[in-house]
Amino acid sequence: MIVNLGYTALLLALICSLYSIVSARVYINTNRYQWVDSARNAVIAVWFLLTLACLSLVYLLTNEHFEIEYVASVSSRAMPWYLKATALWGGQAGSLLFWSWLMSTYTGVVMLRDWSKERDMQPYIITASMLTLAFFISLNAFVENPFNVLWIDSFGNITASVMRPNANLMFTPKDGAGLNPLLRHPGMIIHPPMLYLGFVGFIIPYSFAIGALAVGRTDSVWIRATRRWTLVAWLFLSLGLLLGGRWAYDVLGWGGYWGWDPVEIAALMPWLTGTAFLHSVIIQEKHGMFKRWNMILIILTYALVIFGTFLTRSGVLSSVHAFAQSSIGPLFFMFITITFTISLVLLFRGWETLGSSKTLTSWLSREGLFLLNNLLFMGILVACFWGVIYPLISEIITGQKVTVGPPFYERTTGPQFAALLFLMGIVPLVAWRITTVNRLGHLIWKPTIISLVVPIISMISGVMNFAALLSLWLASLVFCVTIYEFYRGAIARSKSSGNNFYVALWLLISRNRRRYGGYIVHLGVVFMAVGIIGVEMFQTETQGTLALGERMHLGEYSLVYRDLTEFSANDGRVVTRATLTVYKNNKAIGKLEPQRDYYKDSMQRMTIPDIYSTLEGDLYVLLIDWKPVGLQQATFKVYLNPLINWIWIGGFGFILGTLVATWPDQRDRDILTNNKSFAQPL
């Protein structure tokens, strides 16, 4: 009953999505408003139907309906209820359904807005977004069906189908295979939804851009209408990447947070173009420049979202993050080709009308440095794209698999990320149109002198690595310039208004939220940069085998091996756990208990680190091997990761800054009340 309900809701959602596209097309041909209103209602109906489909699948997962192929593959009786529920996105079919539901949520909410200013674009926006959604729903309905039932024929062969084959009986396994142990970490409850929300969120500004191209609008209405949607999508994608890094740090047991894995890079690439787009649209809104470039950026971002989803789900890449081999790869490739081609055709058709009467007057201007910022993001994108795609091209041509490792990415992207940091320290002090060198020097000398304190102290402490010193100086320069901008603005407002400094600072931020929200995000980037510099340039490690009572050293820390226990957990795991006492400068400061888990249902082992964590860094300990008899020897691998927690702290800067930037300020209210800012509706 629930299976039929879920699958019927899925099919009806597909029908409604196709109907919305047809209705939008009829409105374009007839200009009768009831058709576009009907299309809008169909979009909203898709959300209700996909919600019903998702709830049906969650019910099947949590109530152990192992006769459903998907439930049997990702769930088991030993799993707690919350892992059974989140197994919705633990496999290929369920995650596709969840992806579609999130996208329907975005599009459904967008349909509730006031369309009086974008009525001419609305049918094209519906068409672009619902074509994408219909594609993903059709994958669920016909290729990766989460409601397939297991059947067994008279010869003992097991098949999966939503409909009962002739003479076949339903097959119900005694238990399911269970969720992949790598996905049973709390981070995986949050990481995929955040990443998916980031991915599907960028489809909204893309659809508005396609709508603007289709009707030939050259104003910035589509950018203003989607600015907050873009910021929200960017924030979720940023948090998805950060949470993925935290999951890798806690679960994969290799002592780091980022391994330049192809699937990691597939998620990073749309973040790069999305970040460039967020900076570039400011120029279009303020001066009407870079219209063509912004269209290119949002089309690239959409294409990279679909491309990243393709890489993850097609099975063409070998990765702990990727799903298994699947037949949906060619369908994804066809869809990417078609949508990218249509987007380019629309772009080239409107190329001339997207020109700007204003030109770049100086590279030493905010416009010029924003463009340079964009070019650096594109340079990093090219390096990442080539690193991901080269092994695939090599295998097709030579038949041999080639691996592109972290050294390639670090050498090609490292200098460009450093240049981006430098620009973050310069741009806030540069004026629009043109800035003189003398003016820039007058503004930057104070933050520069203060920022030099960090590398000087580092050198006194014994750090002689030039790259590390340069990186620390760049991070401190951005921090000092950003704080200086807050201080300078608050002092100016305090003098003009007579308010005290703190009231003036509050008014400064509240009346220009977009600018100062961006500065808060920049502070988050600085904190992350400090963490990355610490772990990438100063990480140390050691490994050794200890008998009970023996000690090993790493830096100012030492570890004494105390105990080794083995027990069975309630969820079916066999846990082997070591206990060590941690000393810092020969003073006991706590204990660590790294462990190895063996999952009987999937016959997999997982190495779970234990971490002694401070703002100074992490002592990261892994249990590698052990001998439970005799001396009870155990082998441990230990990492010292300086400053790594500043990476996660930087994530809070992203959240706070984005919240500030998306909150309406006085300028937004003025725009909304000024009808001259918008083209008249049809």
Per-residue model confidence as pLDDT tens digits over 91-102: 889 999 999 999
Length of the chain: 682
Tokens 């702990």 — which residue?
Answer: 320
Q: pTM of the prediction?
A: 0.91
Q: What pLDDT sits at residue 630?
A: 60
Last residue of a domain, one of 179, 201, 220: 179
* Cβ atoms of 49 and 13 closer than 8 Å: yes
Q: Which pLDDT tens digit goes with each residue over 450-497?
A: 999 999 999 998 888 999 999 999 999 999 999 999 999 999 999 888
CA 385, 388, 389, 394 dihedral sign is: positive
Residue 569 resides in a domain: yes
Q: Which span out of 100-114, 187-201, 357-371, 564-578 was modeled with the highest average pLDDT?
A: 100-114
Query: In this structure, are strands 573-584 and 604-608 parallel, antiparallel, or unpaired?
Result: unpaired
Residue 51 resides in a domain: yes
Q: What pLDDT sits at residue 470?
A: 95
Tokens 């190895």 — which residue?
Answer: 596
Q: Which pLDDT tens digit goes with each residue over 358-389?
A: 888 888 888 899 999 999 999 999 999 999 99
How many beta carbons lie within 10 A of that of residue 601, not counting itself?
18
pLDDT score of 526 more than 90? yes
Q: What pLDDT sits at residue 665?
A: 58
Q: Which pLDDT tens digit goes with each residue over 41-67?
A: 999 999 999 999 999 999 999 999 999
Mean pLDDT of 163-191: 81
Residue 521 resides in a domain: yes
pLDDT score of 641 more than 90? yes
Residue 277 resides in a domain: no
Last residue of a domain, one of 159, 179, 199: 179
Q: What pLDDT sits at residue 681?
A: 32
Q: Which residue has the higher pLDDT, 65 or 159?
A: 65
Domain that holds residue 519: 514-682
Last residue of a domain, one of 129, 161, 179: 179
Q: Which pLDDT tens digit goes with each residue over 385-401?
A: 999 998 888 888 887 77
Q: Which residues pair with 597 in a beta bridge?
A: 575, 606
Q: How confident is the model at residue 668 (pLDDT cuts 50, 70, 90)?
A: low
Residue 46 resides in a domain: yes
Structural domains of the chain, count: 2
Q: Which of 237, 240, 229, 222 is nearest to 204 (CA)?
A: 229
Q: What is the mean pLDDT of the chain?
A: 89
* Cβ atoms of 268 and 282 closer than 8 Å: no
* Cβ atoms of 97 and 53 closer than 8 Å: yes
Q: Which residue has the higher pLDDT, 10 or 681?
A: 10
Q: What pLDDT sits at residue 326?
A: 59
Q: How confident is the model at residue 322 (pLDDT cuts 50, 70, 90)?
A: very low
Q: Which pLDDT tens digit goes with each residue over 124-155?
A: 999 999 999 999 999 999 999 999 999 988 77
Rounded Cα–Cα distance for residues 238 and 5 (Å): 36
Residue 164 resides in a domain: yes
Q: Indicate the DSSP class of residue 631.
A: T
Rounded Cα–Cα distance for residues 409 and 380 (Å): 9
Q: Which pLDDT tens digit goes with each residue over 327-362?
A: 788 888 899 999 999 999 999 999 999 887 788 888
Residue 98 resides in a domain: yes
Q: Which pLDDT tens digit goes with each residue over 220-234?
A: 889 999 999 999 999
Give the whole-number percent of the chain exceeding pLDDT 90. Answer: 62
DSSP string of 261-299, one letter each residue: -HHHHHHHHHHHHHHHHHHHHHHHHHHS--HHHHHHHHH
Residue 146 resides in a domain: yes
* Cβ atoms of 234 and 131 closer than 8 Å: no
Q: What pLDDT sits at residue 675?
A: 40
C-alpha dihedral, 27 to 28 to 30 to 33, nearest 10°? 40
Q: Three-state secondary structure along 57-110?
A: HHHHHHCCCCCEHHHHHHCCCCCCHHHHHHHHHCCHHHHHHHHHHHHHHHHHHH
